[in-house]
Structure 1
């Protein structure tokens, strides 16, 4: 690349920077730092110039360290010979890459590499000098004309320096010099070497990745094999609800635990109408979506979105189809190995179905199919139960073709809830059209909890004084006391209103248990055993709930499962606590609309609108008080289908209401905003307050609870408990798993934790958040090996609603392509504001971010965190990028306001439908934590009670009926969804990739908006 009329040149010599002014460059033929085809996309990052050496000037790179972010696999012109730009002097690449990545070397271990300079001309050329132009870290590379001695050599004659001078290279001859590096710290080491040949300057870059024993222990022994993006589908054995004419299916009998129970309200099959299925498969947008959401088409609109989601799940399950596989006996069941099961989403879970056909049978439908179900999932093996015939006839070595189906129970409950919602008052669904504005008369409150502030007290008074109408909303960021407020309101009603009956729902078992814990532990009110029920799904493990709370649960000791009490017993409870989806069991048992005087939906921003409708549509009557609590600018619903998400399924009922003018005006009769934060240190709170909460948050944390003096000196600046540690690692993948990990960052995380523990910090006070499931596994493994302390490591989703004294964030990604499209895909998980918001608001006393500053600075929110630390002298680590012009304008393409498009495991699937390049930036699949058999904690599709008696064989097609009336979009009535979609670990579904999804449906501008 030629540079002329350069008026100011900044360069880094060995002893520091210099500035030349008034120089002009025009007579140098070649600079090999960038090939011709690369110049346009790098011109903003690199400023280069070269002049005749008689002028004693140097070529210039404005930030040689930026080379550390090069996409090694596709930008070879940075470090290799390019005949088109260099001509006949051939200089080899120092430290050639291995499989597209820098060579690894142990910290404090010397590594050296020969560099050859070959003269292919017929004339002698003068090599005026070879010099190290710049190194990062400084002075970490050296040059020598001698081969460096071995580590145990006593040779004293070896000499190395930063430059070599004046040699003549004869025609056809080759000169070998040696480039050495002895890294003193972990991470990427880079150097630029200048070769001044005659009147030309040629440049070469060298890269070394230094690792320590921790990072080396995490080295993968399984090379990455990129999964095929669009796996060809095997012939379909059976279509649930489809045309299966002539196919004989032998189904397994129901487990004993699902028998002997008859619900009052049956759950219809809700088979997907063929015309709607055909439209979606052909990428034709159904009319209900083109019209946008309105009161008139509310039912049809959301039913269509649920269909899109269900069809996406159907397609994703086809990834598990296999032919000619063997089943082996295991106890009373059959076991099947499913390669890659732990790495994909949606995963197979307990209650899903399997169709099996002996591989020897032909396809003329003369032989039956066996339809069984999954009893247990262990790593990459599933335990199966079929009809007794198959178990009896099966012999070891028999081979089968198999097809999996997800359990439709969850979807059927969503369809049912939306149908029921069609009969709700318009004021509830679209309150802006409410004919009457309510005015609540409040009475002075005597708090049960002495810790209520002004806003909390007012909201409790409003809830107690409220009589039906649109939902009352309590919203605010983490740590502002939303759960405290809900608990106070529930206890006030229980204590002072004898005729109240209260339903409390949460999106996960953990969240529901948290509410139970608060209610039971409040000293101001004694809850009688017969007044409170904690309703659990049958599939929930007994070990998953605290023994002290079993007294509030309905548990069948004989069948060893949780159960739903009978109607006669349910009506006696004053307070019932459940997940959103388990609430449908109450309707199935016969509880009527209006049975509950108050319905509280906690973490309402995390549930899709159809999920929120499960408790509301079944039990709301005109005088019922609905209370929604949550934070609509943190994580929301977990959606698999990109199209359904874009049309509005990814937006919660609470968020939709908060965006309406009716609630935006802040009318205290309908909404309270909590702004007093009791969790975070002021400096931890200041950035999210500025970015997401209009700078309204007030830090109320007591100064003497901020952090112990024993580890206060850990901070670069004692009064500023936010630290950024810059590490230039390398992101890697292994095996068939497209989830990323970064061993260098994992090592840094472990070292930080070891330092904190030595200072007296307890392991359970530390949490580690990272976007990719593989990084979760690597960090967990390293902690188990080197620390042994019980420290929670998880994704952002697994930390929502939780907090720790100290939070450490590992951002993982450390390589980026230098064009804007690929920056978007690489940064996808990072550039989701909601995940960023959740991640940085989990810490009470100390927040530590670990990552590559040259990568994260491309996103505006992470860039602000980086410079928030740097400007307060709280940055450690590798050199910083320039402060200006770092941020990539990701615009609407990243859907920054959408909480599931770009996933923190996350693992990976940025869900961008990106088809370019081998690396498929951001692509990932999650896997469950190693050794965790509590499948409900990370499954998004575990059914409530296996479908109970309301139809074992949930996915078996019945009449093509939507409720009792086949008319599309008509308003019929409901019953119960899988416990749960995103219930305990919504990150799992968020990580689903769009394999085979194709181009998205067109989205009208008004879709999903009121």
Structure 2
């Protein structure tokens, strides 16, 4: 590891930092904490305990003892003194022991355990020339998670340290272990040549009878391709979005996205891979990270496979994807390949990008030419709308007045600009549009309604709301759920199947005559293009409802609007632009406008900015979340406007809270800190964390003791597909199959009584990769917002606080839990507020008083508030406010008993005397505020100068103490016997140099006898060093005033 600087043994310091910093160590840190080079060691060579296996810490079962030897070899011809070996620090505390004998195993006899002696310190001894001393280090973990220890070896003039890492596991985490270490998939990025290929067998067509209208090819123009591939920005993009160039603007953005997807697809080409025979009709290919859309494949896409040992030269075979399961695709090739294939054959494979969805986007954007400015660029200048309404007879008696009012507006609307229902999570946006749909269905029987959502799960959620309610009265033959052919049949719940159209378990679009009979059709945005292809004309639908509109790009939203909307069609958008936005793969296309939803852009139009009820309704009453769950997202994203309207109180959920040992029953947000190990397996780049998975299982086991709780009441959100699969495996083995596990995207628009979030990450190393590829939780505020607002009664976060706190939003959540006494687990990192206080070791380096958020020296140590009122501290101004005073005479103001006044706070007096001015009792005078009553010896004139002979200049804030007045506006001299009193404790020695010090444009010289005291309470900083410099720094351009401390030693590499 390295050497500790000479003399730092007693300084409680090491190369890894202070004693408490051992809990913050990252085993993947670049400092190579767990490895060393024998050639660089010497003359005494010390081995590392518990060496890593495949780059990961070794595992130890909770409750069992794991031991390893440490050898200390004297390679010289002289004797060397080993003054001692000690465990400098451990996390968890006291988890490691040292011994001269090998510790007995857990199942050893009682006599062996009785004879064993372990300690945190081994006494000194002499190492003879060439001698190797063997000592032992052991760990018996009490709970799962990373166990870390720093060991110091004191060898005469040098000190060497080693770091030990172990991963404590239980039976659940070990059951999820994969013996297949991660290795990158076979070489990717090479584009194979497939000049000729044998065509494969296509899947069945979406429509068995053929579509009436087929999409054009929409090939990318070569000149636009060359501009984009050369990293230039087309002029139409630089000019920005306007009505004239609407089609060209969005078409070019789609081209940028498509070119990026082509490049991404080429990066996933594979070499020397095998395929497995699946029955008589399919060959399957494993594609790592397919579940995370790397690459993004759907049924109907195809690959080109070239047999490595082929005797036919460059002969390749086209294979169409017929089914996708997890990370496997099922392919159909020409029958000749199926006949000759052997499972050990090696193939080079390239993926081809399916352009169907892109062609749908191009078509939607071009069809938008038929839309007027009321749809694309609505404004007051085009047409002011006033919607006439009639009182609503609600079908759902639970809707509030804002929801009822928005339904009235929708019912009274007759075409024109879209009507928007927006609001934070849990405010009933979907409930509102369902009420509007059912009102139209019940009382306006001639209406035809299309309901679109951004995902299958969101569309299914609307479907369920429509037929689940007894008062809805929707006939089964008048409600239809349109599915894409690529959707797996088993992905649809059995209760939804009766609303779908399929053949041989493959979803299809029914003919136009059947479609025209349905009064309500539910679809995704993309699948809505099938309606146009079948021949549904513009104006057929009287109302188009777009739920979760913030998740779709504008071209995607245009698929149902531009193809099916007529002048009198009513368009209703529901969503929240502060939740999940569109998923765009090209960062350039995203930044230039493709990442902004149609919903979000409409809020830039003047109709919607003022909250005009003829255009928009904002819902603020949250009926989902406990107030404590709601407060943080309300403050962070919605200006604190959310109104908690959930009727249940903590008493109704007290059993749940007791089962998870919630520290604060009035605060059902719990952060469980755990330092696990993020892993990958095989050639799959997706991450998982077995330690976190085990903790999640443990929580759910405890919750299952509540007989009133169903597995379906629990949801687990995690950002990585492999963690989803590991958790599902664990739940199935424990007979808990109904617990829903999924990504944030799969939970948007949904809720659960209890939500558990597994953040997975335990190292910071790959966070930037996750950000670029839109993975993980960090650096994605919208994903964070959705994740923490799915829970109704209890929210539990399981994660590594040392990784989470790198993101400002997650850091605030961590602080929120800590401040409310609802954190359990591994030692905490320095939080944002603490870090401000601890930047100089918890104390202001100039004055020595506690900083704004410190929990030392008279501040509440458990839950420090920003400006505490306890222990005589009425109001503590934040540090770094300007001041220009010199010294204080006794007594000090009561506001700062026994402490100095915060640095850099402007005042204009010299010595303070009692009483303080009545205008500001018990307070320091605010900076830059004129005053004339101070309570000082004599009244001050309005321009801050004393009346009398010995008066400093007007702008001066310091005076020479003696008989004469300094002519310098900011300079003075102190008398020889003046003390600058900063504390009452005369035992804290601080030496000030004899050269004076600099004081922000105010220079004051002190003689060598002037003493300043650094701290009152030595216990506040247990290792405060003696200030021992004999010089004080002097500069006219600096505001720092500080005695030099004895520098704390740092480790140097050996």
**Which TM bucket (shorter chain)?**
0.7 to 0.9
Deviation track 1:38-87 (CA, whole Å, cap 9, x = no partner) reads xxxxxxxxxxx86377xx65446764453444443554564556799986
Among candidates 87, 95, 100, match of residue 145 of structure 1 = 100
Shift of 1:845: 0.8
| Pair member with larger Rg | 2
Secondary structure, aligned partner of 1:289:
helix
Residues 50, 860 of structure 1: alpha-carbon distance in 2 compared, 3 angstrom cutoff: farther
Shift of 1:753: 1.1
Shift of 1:224: 1.3
Distance (whole Å) between structure 2 residues aligned to residue 256 and residue 797 of structure 1: 29
Deviation track 1:270-309 (CA, whole Å, cap 9, x = no partner) reads 1222222333333333333232322222212221222233
Distance (whole Å) between structure 1 residues aligned to residue 776 and residue 461 of structure 2: 32
Shift of 1:159: 2.0
Distance (whole Å) between structure 1 residues aligned to residue 84 and residue 345 of structure 2: 72
Shift of 1:734: 1.4
Among candidates 481, 494, 499, match of residue 534 of structure 1 = 481
Secondary structure, aligned partner of 1:749:
helix
Distance (whole Å) between structure 2 residues aligned to residue 354 and residue 500 of structure 1: 45
Shift of 1:731: 1.4
Among candidates 284, 302, 318, match of residue 353 of structure 1 = 302
Deviation track 1:121-173 (CA, whole Å, cap 9, x = no partner) reads 55444333222222221212222223334442533433222212232334443
Matched, 1:681 2:637: no
Residues 258, 518 of structure 1: alpha-carbon distance in 2 compared, 3 angstrom cutoff: closer
Q: How does 1:714-793 map to 2 (within 5 A)?
A: 714=660, 715-760=662-707, 761-793=709-741
Distance (whole Å) between structure 1 residues aligned to residue 86 and residue 703 of structure 2: 42
Among candidates 98, 120, 124, match of residue 166 of structure 1 = 124
Secondary structure, aligned partner of 1:32:
strand
Deviation track 1:704-751 (CA, whole Å, cap 9, x = no partner) reads 587544333131222211111111111111111111211111111111
Shift of 1:695: 0.9
Shift of 1:881: 1.7
Shift of 1:806: 0.9
Distance (whole Å) between structure 2 residues aligned to residue 79 and residue 539 of structure 1: 48
Name the structure 2 match of 1:181: 139
Instruction: Confirm or deny: 8 A CA contact 1:417 1:614 kept in the other structure.
Output: yes
Shift of 1:651: 2.2
Name the structure 1 match of 2:826: 878
Moved more, 617-626 or 167-176: 167-176
TM-score where L is the length of structure 1: 0.75
Shift of 1:656: 2.0
Moved more, 325-334 or 636-645: 325-334
Matched, 1:212 2:170: yes
Distance (whole Å) between structure 1 residues aligned to residue 620 and residue 605 of structure 2: 21
Name the structure 2 match of 1:32: 3
RMSD: 3.6
Deviation track 1:434-455 (CA, whole Å, cap 9, x = no partner) reads 4222222222222121111121
Name the structure 2 match of 1:93: 48
Among candidates 789, 802, 813, match of residue 854 of structure 1 = 802
Name the structure 2 match of 1:840: 788
Instruction: Confirm or deny: 8 A CA contact 2:411 2:436 kept in the other structure.
Output: yes
Among candidates 252, 261, 268, match of residue 313 of structure 1 = 261
Name the structure 2 match of 1:495: 442
5+ residue gaps, structure 1, are 1-29, 34-48, 238-246, 889-1010
TM-score where L is the length of structure 2: 0.72
Shift of 1:340: 3.5
Distance (whole Å) between structure 1 residues aligned to residue 57 and residue 344 of structure 2: 46
Name the structure 2 match of 1:335: 283
Residues 708, 430 of structure 1: alpha-carbon distance in 2 compared, 3 angstrom cutoff: same
Name the structure 1 match of 2:1035: none
- The structure showing larger relative contact order (alpha-carbon pairs under 8 Å, at least 6 residues apart) is 1
Instruction: Confirm or deny: 8 A CA contact 2:151 2:163 kept in the other structure.
Output: yes
Q: How does 1:886-965 map to 2 (within 5 A)?
A: none
Distance (whole Å) between structure 1 residues aligned to residue 207 and residue 450 of structure 2: 27
Instruction: Confirm or deny: 8 A CA contact 2:186 2:270 kept in the other structure.
Output: no
Instruction: Confirm or deny: 8 A CA contact 2:755 2:794 kept in the other structure.
Output: yes
Shift of 1:528: 4.1
Matched, 1:442 2:398: no
Shift of 1:215: 1.3
Distance (whole Å) between structure 1 residues aligned to residue 563 and residue 770 of structure 2: 47
Secondary structure, aligned partner of 1:758:
coil
Instruction: Confirm or deny: 8 A CA contact 1:234 1:322 kept in the other structure.
Output: no
Shift of 1:382: 4.3
Among candidates 610, 632, 657, match of residue 602 of structure 2 = 657
Matched, 1:195 2:153: yes
Instruction: Confirm or deny: 8 A CA contact 1:70 1:817 kept in the other structure.
Output: no
Residues 639, 827 of structure 1: alpha-carbon distance in 2 compared, 3 angstrom cutoff: closer
Among candidates 332, 340, 358, match of residue 411 of structure 1 = 358
Name the structure 1 match of 2:72: 117
Distance (whole Å) between structure 2 residues aligned to residue 817 and residue 259 of structure 1: 48
Distance (whole Å) between structure 1 residues aligned to residue 741 and residue 239 of structure 2: 44
Aligned length, in residue pairs: 828
Instruction: Confirm or deny: 8 A CA contact 2:28 2:763 kept in the other structure.
Output: no
Distance (whole Å) between structure 2 residues aligned to residue 885 and residue 122 of structure 1: 54
Secondary structure, aligned partner of 2:3:
coil
Among candidates 388, 405, 410, match of residue 458 of structure 1 = 405
Distance (whole Å) between structure 2 residues aligned to residue 332 and residue 821 of structure 1: 41
Secondary structure, aligned partner of 2:526:
coil
Matched, 1:261 2:261: no
Distance (whole Å) between structure 2 residues aligned to residue 116 and residue 329 of structure 1: 54
Among candidates 287, 300, 304, match of residue 248 of structure 2 = 300
Residues 706, 225 of structure 1: alpha-carbon distance in 2 compared, 3 angstrom cutoff: farther
Distance (whole Å) between structure 2 residues aligned to residue 482 and residue 125 of structure 1: 76
Name the structure 1 match of 2:583: 638
5+ residue gaps, structure 2, are 837-1054
Distance (whole Å) between structure 1 residues aligned to residue 508 and residue 334 of structure 2: 26
Distance (whole Å) between structure 2 residues aligned to residue 474 and residue 266 of structure 1: 34
